[in-house]
Amino acid sequence: MALTILSFSAFIFSVVLFFYLPNKLFVEAGNGGFTVELIHRDSPRSPFYNPSDSLSDRVIQAVHRSNSRIDYFRISSKPSSVSPTSVRSEVVPNGGSYLMSLSIGTPPVEMLAIADTGSDLIWTQCNPCDGCYQQEAPLFDPVESSTYRNISCQSNSCQSLPQSSCSVSRSCDYSYSYGDQSFTNGVLASETLTFDSTERSTVKIPKIAFGCGHNNAGTFDSHGAGLVGLGGGPLSLISQLGSSIEGKFSYCLVPLQENTTSSQLNFGDTAVVSGSNVVSTPLISKDPNTFYYLTLEVIEFGEKNVKLPGGNGNIIIDSGTTLTYLETSVYDEFSSALKESINLKPAQDPSQTFDTCYEAGQEASLPDMTFRFTGANLILKPLNTFIQVSEGVVCLALMPMQDFSIFGNIAQQNFKVGYDLVGKKVSFAPTDCTKN
Residue 317 lies in a domain: yes
Tell whether the model's pLDDT for residue 49 goes beyond 50: yes
Contacts of 26 (CB under 8 A, 6+ apart): 36, 37, 198
Same domain, yes or no: 392 and 331 = yes
The pLDDT of residue 266 = 85
The pLDDT of residue 330 = 96
Residue 427 lies in a domain: yes
Tell whether the model's pLDDT for residue 134 goes beyond 90: no
Same domain, yes or no: 346 and 250 = no
Q: To 5 degrees, how large is the angle CA 108–CA 114–CA 117? A: 115
Tell whether the model's pLDDT for residue 219 goes beyond 60: yes
Last residue of a domain, one of 238, 267, 296: 267
Q: Which of 20-24, 145-149, 178-182, 301-305 holds the top average pLDDT?
A: 145-149
What is the percent of the chain with per-residue pLDDT over 90, rounded to a whole number?
A: 41
Last residue of a domain, one of 267, 296, 313: 267
Tell whether the model's pLDDT for residue 265 goes beyond 50: yes
Is 332 among the residues known to form the active site? no
Tell whether the model's pLDDT for residue 3 goes beyond 50: no
Same domain, yes or no: 343 and 240 = no
Q: For 91-100, 175-184, 261-270, 416-425, which range has the lowest pLDDT when averaged over its residues? A: 91-100
Q: Which of 42, 116, 173, 196 is catalytic?
A: 116
Contact present, 11 and 391 (Cβ < 8 Å): no
The pLDDT of residue 35 = 54
Q: For 190-199, 232-241, 294-303, which range has the lowest pLDDT when averaged over its residues? A: 190-199
Q: Which of 42, 120, 196, 318 is catalytic?
A: 318
Of 2, 9, 1, 77, nearest to 255 by C-alpha is: 9
Tell whether the model's pLDDT for residue 93 goes beyond 50: no
Same domain, yes or no: 373 and 420 = yes
Same domain, yes or no: 109 and 198 = yes
Phi (first) and psi of residue 235, to 5 degrees: -100, 0
Same domain, yes or no: 412 and 289 = yes
Residue 398 lies in a domain: yes
Tell whether the model's pLDDT for residue 431 goes beyond 60: yes
Tell whether the model's pLDDT for residue 12 goes beyond 60: no
Residue 357 lies in a domain: yes
Name the band, by pLDDT with cuts 50, 70 and 90, for residue 34. Answer: low
Name the band, by pLDDT with cuts 50, 70 and 90, for residue 384. Answer: very high
Residue 73 lies in a domain: no
Name the band, by pLDDT with cuts 50, 70 and 90, for residue 87. Answer: low
Last residue of a domain, one of 226, 244, 267: 267
Residue 9 lies in a domain: no
Same domain, yes or no: 304 and 380 = yes
Residue range of the domain that includes 148: 17-53+79-267
- Structure pTM? 0.86
Same domain, yes or no: 110 and 259 = yes
The pLDDT of residue 231 = 93
Same domain, yes or no: 312 and 220 = no
Is 287 among the residues known to form the active site? no
Residue, of 335 and 244, whose pLDDT is higher: 335
Same domain, yes or no: 99 and 217 = yes
The pLDDT of residue 369 = 97
Split into its structural domains, the chain has a count of 2
Q: For 86-90, 253-257, 309-313, 396-400, which range has the lowest pLDDT when averaged over its residues? A: 86-90
Residue 66 lies in a domain: no
Tell whether the model's pLDDT for residue 281 goes beyond 60: yes
Tell whether the model's pLDDT for residue 32 goes beyond 50: no
Same domain, yes or no: 205 and 288 = no
Same domain, yes or no: 183 and 316 = no
* SS3 letters across the chain: CECCCECCCCCCCCCEEEECCCCCCCEEEECCEEEECCCCCCCCCCCCCCCCCCHHHHHHHHHHHHHHHHHHHHHHCCCCCCCCCCEEEEECCCCCCCEEEEEECCCCEEEEEECCCCCCCCEEEECCCCECCCCCCCCECHHHCCCCEECECCCHHHHCCCCEEECCCCEEEEEEECCCCCEEEEEEEEEEEEEECCCCCEEEEEEEEEEEEEEEECCCCCCCCEECCCCCCCCCHHHHHHHHCCCEEEEECCCHHHCCCCEEEEEHHHHCCCCCCCEEEECECCCCCCCEEECEEEEEECCEEEECCCCCCCEEECCCCCCEEEEHHHHHHHHHHHHHHCCCCECCCCCCCCCCEEECCCCCECCCEEEEECCEEEEECHHHHEEEEECCEEEECEEEECCCEEECCCCCCCEEEEEECCCCEEEEEECCHHHC
Residue 230 lies in a domain: yes
CATH number, domain containing residue 356: 2.40.70.10
